């Protein structure tokens, strides 16, 4: 099985062209290839498949083998992969990608014939608790919902970007927060029947946020694009930021736009790391 490893701001995935492969159980394969000691190493596995609704279809599996709806960093790298491999090409400057979160439209950035990053229409945020899959009553948005975990009093704001997120804005630096201890407790909290991605963030200015993410099924990652979008939406709803922000994550900077209604737009890099053969 030929693969290419890629990353967007340090959020790394293994990409496989599965269009002509027989159907199989990808869950154990995702766990094996994602293992950073005994496998290729990555935050998950991404498959390229044919689509009847878009230019191409993306399936994404987390490092624990669970299938996710979408990944903003992953879809930028996905676009770079399918374009440079000759699998699909943008039409009118836009590549349409079918995901479990819907059709995602990606506008690649080019330099010297290579795709270096992309601007992505992430669609509108979903703010009703029933759309996010959180056990809270009401129509939403839900801001600063109090939860006590591991001795930490968290005020959680809930957003779905096609996958569920809970964001908490801290007074302390996010670098000092024990994310690896608290993150799993939030992910598996009874509030979230389908688990949740958890972000901690600092509002450094009206144009800049700093964040760390505990990703459902993968643990702490160097960046999470849907998480960055969720943090931006949450910050905007709380009146902390303007309509365009830089979000600093451990793996790099993502740019997110949201004026308070309509679609969220994301910009970030896409980089190829290496390729190889995986013997199943």
Residues 207 and 96 in one domain: no
Residues 168 and 253 in one domain: yes
Whether 224 sits among the annotated catalytic residues: the reply is: yes
Residues 135 and 203 in one domain: yes
Closest CA to 261 of 153, 134, 126: 126
The tally of domains found in the chain comes to: 2
Cα dihedral: 226, 232, 236, 241 (round 10): -170
Residues 29 and 87 in one domain: yes
234 near 141, Cβ under 8 Å?
no
Residues 73 and 138 in one domain: no
Residues 28 and 75 in one domain: yes
Distance CA 23, CA 153 (A): 46
Q: What is the DSSP letter of 89?
A: -
Distance CA 237, CA 252 (A): 24
Please state the pTM of the whole predicted model: 0.92
Residues 83 and 138 in one domain: no
Residues 109 and 178 in one domain: no
pLDDT for the residue 280: 76
Whether 229 sits among the annotated catalytic residues: the reply is: no
Which of 71, 77, 180, 229 is catalytic? The answer is: 71
φ/ψ of residue 50, rounded to 5: -70, 155
Instruction: Name the E strands within the chain.
Output: 2-8, 11-17, 44-49, 56-62, 67-68, 95-99, 102-111, 114-123, 145-149, 152-160, 164-169, 197-205, 208-215, 219-221, 244-249, 252-257, 264-269, 271-277
Which of 77, 180, 224, 229 is catalytic? The answer is: 224
> Do strands 95-99 and 102-111 pair parallel, antiparallel, or not at all (unpaired)?
antiparallel
Residues 148 and 250 in one domain: yes
Beta bridge partners of 108: 118
7 near 77, Cβ under 8 Å?
yes
DSSP letters spanning 19-63? TTSPP--HHHHHHHHH-TTTSS--SEEEEEE--SSSSEEEEEEET
pLDDT tens for the chain, residues 1 to 280: 999 999 999 999 999 999 999 989 999 999 999 999 999 999 999 999 999 999 999 999 999 999 999 999 999 999 999 999 999 999 999 999 999 999 999 999 999 999 999 999 999 999 999 999 999 999 989 999 999 998 899 999 999 999 999 999 999 999 999 999 999 999 999 999 999 999 999 999 999 999 999 999 999 999 999 999 999 999 999 999 999 999 999 999 999 999 999 999 999 999 999 999 998 7
Residues 246 and 197 in one domain: yes
Distance CA 184, CA 162 (A): 20
Q: Which CATH number do you get for residue 156? A: 3.10.310.10
Distance CA 69, CA 86 (A): 25
pLDDT for the residue 150: 83
For residue 23, give its domain range.
Answer: 2-123+268-277
Residues 118 and 169 in one domain: no
pLDDT for the residue 89: 97
Residues 27 and 68 in one domain: yes
């Amino acid at each position: 099985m030929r693969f290419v490893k890629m990353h967007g701001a340090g959020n790394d995935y293994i990409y496989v062209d599965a269009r002509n492969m027989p159907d199989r159980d990808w869950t154990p394969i995702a766990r094996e290839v994602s293992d950073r000691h005994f496998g290729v190493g990555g935050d998950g596995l991404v498959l390229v498949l044919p689509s009847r609704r878009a230019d191409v279809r993306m399936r994404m599996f987390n490092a624990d083998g669970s299938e996710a709806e979408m990944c903003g960093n992953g879809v930028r790298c996905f676009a770079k992969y399918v374009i440079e491999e000759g699998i699909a090409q943008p039409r009118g400057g836009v590549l349409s990608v079918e995901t479990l979160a819907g059709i995602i439209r990606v506008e690649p950035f080019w330099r010297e014939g290579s795709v270096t990053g992309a601007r992505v229409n992430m669609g509108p945020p979903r703010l009703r608790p029933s759309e996010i899959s959180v056990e809270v009553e009401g129509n939403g948005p839900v801001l600063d919902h109090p939860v006590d975990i591991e001795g930490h009093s968290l005020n959680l704001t809930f957003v779905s970007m096609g996958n569920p997120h809970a964001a908490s804005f801290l007074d302390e630096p996010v670098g000092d927060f024990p994310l690896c201890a608290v993150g799993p407790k939030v992910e598996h909290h009874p509030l979230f029947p389908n688990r949740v991605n958890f972000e901690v963030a600092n509002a450094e200015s009206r144009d800049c946020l700093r964040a760390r993410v505990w990703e459902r099924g993968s643990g702490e990652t160097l960046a999470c694009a849907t998480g960055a979008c969720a943090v931006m939406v949450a910050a905007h709803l709380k009146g902390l930021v303007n309509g365009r922000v830089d979000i600093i994550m451990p793996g790099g900077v993502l740019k997110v736009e949201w004026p308070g209604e309509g679609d969220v737009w994301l910009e970030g890099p896409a980089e190829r790391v290496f390729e190889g053969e995986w013997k199943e």
